[in-house]
Amino acid sequence: MVKVAYYPGCALKDRSSHLDASARDAAERLGFQLDELESWTCCGAVPPVSRERVMNLVASSRILKNTRDSGRDLLVTICDFCYNTLKRTNHRIRKDEITRRRINTYLAQEKPERDYIEETASPWTDYAGEVRVMHLMEYLRDVTGYDEMRKRLSRPLEGLKLAPYYGCVMLRPENEIGLDDPEDPSIIEGFIEALGARVVNYPYRTECCGSYLSVSDPDVSTRLSYKILSSAAGKGADAVILSCPLCFHNLDSRQEAISRVFPGFKPIPVFYFTQLLSLAMGGDRDRQGFSRHHVDVSGVVDSIFAEKERQ
């Protein structure tokens, strides 16, 4: 089985570990293995504002350099934040020579002790952005292919109406990310169709859910989440599908607050893309961590299984 270097990131390793499990399960059903890096740290979550604060790029650079040094040229992640950080760091290393040189100056100080003792140690090579950073969604589109996914479907999500939610950091800033058109993306739509489900168009798919403001200013995040969810529901979506653990947290857990502030709001299930991928590929419903959702998803999940039985 093909092994693909995999960077889970903190959230997926820890409090969103159920999403990590579903991703690994789905990958294996599609014929490749998410091969977690041997050792890794937090990516830093946000790149710094300027060249002079290059320190903030060191963590993500180290991850990329270690990937290259382990002999791999592709790194897959399933968290939008990690994807954004790793990809932009990589982009800056590739495009800006000063950033590249300053970062490698830091990284060089982390040479293992043996490199100082043994004369025979391999010479230091600057990391110059050799690794390609990919989102799992991107890997499925560009490497696996939607046709291949369709062929391997064992439980197509027929009849299910899904609202794609992109949020911010998966698409923007486009000149550094370049995954899709930031104003009219289609990658999640393609993914939804590859699973046999139907796409629900609604205007809020690329609007911000409030990100970290859900901690510092929860009311703001509640209002933003309400706009997104009510728009999707208003267009007839059965559920929202997304690929960022923070968006997942906001859109799922804020629904209790939304219901209090906006009477008449009807909760709508939120899925991580890996969960639906796993189910569609024949995965077990008990391995998706659905019990950890704030909004009950059983109605939608039941319908997926019922649909399969009808066929």
Partner 1 sequence: MSKTSLPPPENLPMRLTRDTVSEGFKKRVAELSGQNPDSCYQCGNCSSGCPLACEMNILPSRMMRLVQLGQEETVLESGTIWICASCFQCTVRCPRGIDIQSVMDALRQIALDLGTDHFGPDQVTPEQAATVPQPGLVSLYRKLST
Where on the chain is the footprint of partner 1 (CB under 8 A)? 9-11, 14-16, 42, 44-46, 48-53, 56, 79, 81-82, 167-169, 171-174, 182-183, 206-208, 210-217, 220, 223-224, 244-246, 248-249, 253
How far is Cα 66 from Cα 117, in angstroms, rounded to an integer?
21
Please say which residue, 98 or 306, places its beta carbon nearer to partner 1. Answer: 98
**Considering the complex, what minimum distance in angstroms separates the CB of residue 77 from partner 1?**
11
**Considering the complex, what minimum distance in angstroms separates the CB of residue 3 from partner 1?**
26
**Considering the complex, what minimum distance in angstroms separates the CB of residue 40 from partner 1?**
13
- Half-sphere CA count of 198, side-chain side, radius 13 A: 10
**Considering the complex, what minimum distance in angstroms separates the CB of residue 90 from partner 1?**
17
Please say which residue, 86 or 194, places its beta carbon nearer to partner 1. Answer: 86
Please say which residue, 238 or 252, places its beta carbon nearer to partner 1. Answer: 252
Angle between helices 245-253 and 218-234 (to 10 degrees): 80
**Considering the complex, what minimum distance in angstroms separates the CB of residue 211 from partner 1?**
4
Please say which residue, 90 or 211, places its beta carbon nearer to partner 1. Answer: 211
**Considering the complex, what minimum distance in angstroms separates the CB of residue 168 from partner 1?**
4
DSSP strand E in the chain: where?
Answer: 2-7, 32-36, 74-77, 132-135, 161-164, 198-199, 239-242, 270-272
**Considering the complex, what minimum distance in angstroms separates the CB of residue 5 from partner 1?**
20
Map residue 33 onto helix, strand or coil. Answer: strand
Q: Beta strand 198-199 with 132-135: parallel, antiparallel or unpaired?
A: unpaired
List, in sequence order, every residue forming a beta bridge with 242; answer none if it has no partner: 272
How far is Cα 277 from Cα 29, in angstroms, rounded to an integer?
10
Please say which residue, 244 or 281, places its beta carbon nearer to partner 1. Answer: 244
Q: How far is CA 185 from CA 182, 201, 203, in A?
A: 6, 12, 12
Please say which residue, 46 or 74, places its beta carbon nearer to partner 1. Answer: 46
Sequence-distant (≥ 6) Cβ neighbours of residue 22 within 8 angstroms: 272, 274, 275, 277, 278, 283, 287, 288, 289
Please say which residue, 36 or 158, places its beta carbon nearer to partner 1. Answer: 36
> Contact, 251 vs 209, CB < 8 A?
yes
How far is Cα 311 from Cα 307, in angstroms, rounded to an integer?
7
Please say which residue, 51 or 260, places its beta carbon nearer to partner 1. Answer: 51
Tokens, residue 20: 């990590």
How far is Cα 300 from Cα 160, in angstroms, rounded to an integer?
8
Sequence-distant (≥ 6) Cβ neighbours of residue 77 within 8 angstroms: 6, 7, 8, 9, 83, 86, 133, 134, 135, 136
**Considering the complex, what minimum distance in angstroms separates the CB of residue 179 from partner 1?**
12
